[in-house]
Structure 1
Amino acid sequence: MASWGEPAVGSDRPSALRPTRSALLGLVAAALGIKREEQAQHDKLNASLRFAIKQISAGVLLRDFHTAQVPSQDRKSVLRTRKDELKGDKLNTVLSSRDFRSDGLWIVAIEVTDNSKWDIQQIQQALLKPKFTLYLGRKSCPLAAPLSPQLTSTDDLQTALDIAFEPLLGSIDEDRMWLPKSERAAYYWQEGMVSGSLRGVSSNKVWDEPVHRGRWQFTSRVEHSASMQREKP
């Protein structure tokens, strides 16, 4: 299960088809042990990493009808716990729908910048032995299996994203039972990364560049994409 947050209007909380930059930065930050309130560390991490994604499957869309009760604002009292909130008489019910992606499969390439505080080996070790629990967009979406980061050196982005991994379920035959049947894979990468052999490139503006973690502020960035024939496992 995953939920890749997109700009939300009203009560709808949509999910992107692929991991957003903010979600990937948050995942690496959790692995490194960076707390949410350590804004200076988040700023350094943001300046240190670039991401590219190979989407093998966007998964199946699941929509959750969500209800929550929140008290009316009262400046005369301080509610310190959820238990204190529910004791009040003035509770308001907030309705929303939240989208998730089920059984998605993505390969992510991480590139460190020249002025990065962390080297790629440190990132790999953190993903193998994370300090905090890793989840895919929401805390209700922990990873279904451990990550399997590999180190590679190449000038071609597609080569990095097409790297071979061990079968997820123990054998190639077992993987074929649930891996997507699509014959094409989608590639996404951010501005500043060299696309290499990828062709048929298009560019779009996406709003997932974090500005401030505490205030949940984001800005736009340019993302490039391409679609290529996928080799069968």
Structure 2
Amino acid sequence: MTEYLVFRLYAPLASWGEAAVGESRPTATYPGRGAIIGLLGAALGVRRDDDEGQRRLRDSVGIAIKQRSPGSLMRDYHTVQVPASQSKVIYRTRRDELNAPRKVINTILSSRDYRCDGLWTVAVWLMPQAKVALEELEQALKSPYFPLYLGRKACPPAAPLAPRREAFSQLRDALDASFLPLCGKDQEDEQKALRLPENVVYAWEGDAEALDGNGRGVESSDVWDQPLNRRRWQFGPRIEYRRVVRAREER
């Protein structure tokens, strides 16, 4: 038996950042390791410039995700006015930028993607070298030091995370843990209200059989969401395992 910290994530808008090139800011369908580490760090009060605190948290936990629904994709079109770079001119605030002469103002176009009405379950467990406790993480999620959000500050949670610690024999059992329905009286009402899809996705780290002891139907790939330096936004690769399962086949 392994003790897990299990909680859920739901919001009208969420954005799980992927590699961004140029003006496009895409989103994954479920949160990666970097997003969950950031959420836990905000709850604990670990600042981005606290390199040692970030490293300690990163090395302490293993993370798995169950995507109950990816939500629908929404693309937000942005126009931002910024002054052109000029020698010997420093803009220290946004007000300074907006007060720059109109002739040096440029317009930057960008698009930002969001997931609407996505629903995810997260399971966290401790690594052998852990420097934090699951009880500490649970209490932090219940009473966070900094406000929590799902990828961007414009995406606060719309339902309680309902974190709890519980021992399970398999990781999949932890990810299949039930919560009070977000809509209606039971899971069937929630299924209809949120239009949950027929398939769910499990994503985890460790090895192919870590989910339930069965490596069949598992795919893997390198994903670059292992936070290395939050101040510089540097991320490294890790191996992520995934399996798609029909919702009615959940145990």
TM-score normalised by length of structure 1: 0.94
Q: What residue is the counterpart of 1:196 in the other structure?
A: 212
Native 8 Å contact 1:54 1:188 kept in 2: yes
Give the 4+ runs in structure 1 shifted more than 3 A: none
Q: Say yes or no: does 1:184 pair with 2:199.
A: yes
1:83 counterpart (95, 111, 117): 95
- The DSSP-based 3-state class of the residue aligned with 2:194 is coil
Relative to its length, the structure with more strand (as a share) is 2
Closer, same or farther: CA 126–170 of 1 in aligned 2, 3 Å: farther
**Whole-angstrom CA distance in 2 between matches of 1:43 and 1:180:** 39
TM-score normalised by length of structure 2: 0.87
- For 2:201, the aligned partner's letter is A
Equivalences for residues 212-227 of structure 1 within 5 A: 212-227=229-244
Q: Say yes or no: does 1:8 pair with 2:20.
A: yes
- For 1:161, the aligned partner's letter is L
- For 1:165, the aligned partner's letter is F
Which segments of 5 or more consecutive residues in structure 2 lack a partner in the other structure? 1-12
Q: Deviation string for 1:141-182 (max 9, x for gaps)?
A: 111122111211123111010011111235215423323342
C-alpha displacement of 1:39: 1.5
**Whole-angstrom CA distance in 1 between matches of 2:249 and 2:95:** 53
Q: Say yes or no: does 1:208 pair with 2:222.
A: no
**Whole-angstrom CA distance in 2 between matches of 1:147 and 1:75:** 49
Q: Say yes or no: does 1:154 pair with 2:168.
A: yes
- The DSSP-based 3-state class of the residue aligned with 1:151 is strand
Native 8 Å contact 1:65 1:96 kept in 2: yes
C-alpha displacement of 1:72: 1.8
- The DSSP-based 3-state class of the residue aligned with 2:27 is coil
**Whole-angstrom CA distance in 2 between matches of 1:28 and 1:133:** 11
- Comparing 196-205 with 44-53, greater Cα deviation is found at 196-205
**Whole-angstrom CA distance in 2 between matches of 1:205 and 1:101:** 23
- The DSSP-based 3-state class of the residue aligned with 1:160 is helix
Q: What residue is the counterpart of 1:141 in the other structure?
A: 155
**Whole-angstrom CA distance in 1 between matches of 2:195 and 2:123:** 20
Using CA pairs below 8 Å that are at least 6 residues apart, which structure has the higher relative contact order?
Answer: 2
**Whole-angstrom CA distance in 2 between matches of 1:63 and 1:164:** 31
2:185 counterpart (171, 175, 184): 171
- For 2:46, the aligned partner's letter is I
C-alpha displacement of 1:232: 8.9
Identity %: 45
- Comparing 180-189 with 113-122, greater Cα deviation is found at 180-189
Which segments of 5 or more consecutive residues in structure 1 lack a partner in the other structure? none
Q: What residue is the counterpart of 2:5 in the other structure?
A: none
- For 1:206, the aligned partner's letter is V
Q: What residue is the counterpart of 2:7 in the other structure?
A: none
Q: Say yes or no: does 1:103 pair with 2:120.
A: no
Q: What residue is the counterpart of 1:46 in the other structure?
A: 58
**Whole-angstrom CA distance in 2 between matches of 1:26 and 1:147:** 15
1:28 counterpart (23, 30, 40): 40
**Whole-angstrom CA distance in 1 between matches of 2:32 and 2:125:** 15
C-alpha displacement of 1:209: 1.1
Native 8 Å contact 1:157 1:197 kept in 2: no
- Comparing 164-173 with 83-92, greater Cα deviation is found at 164-173
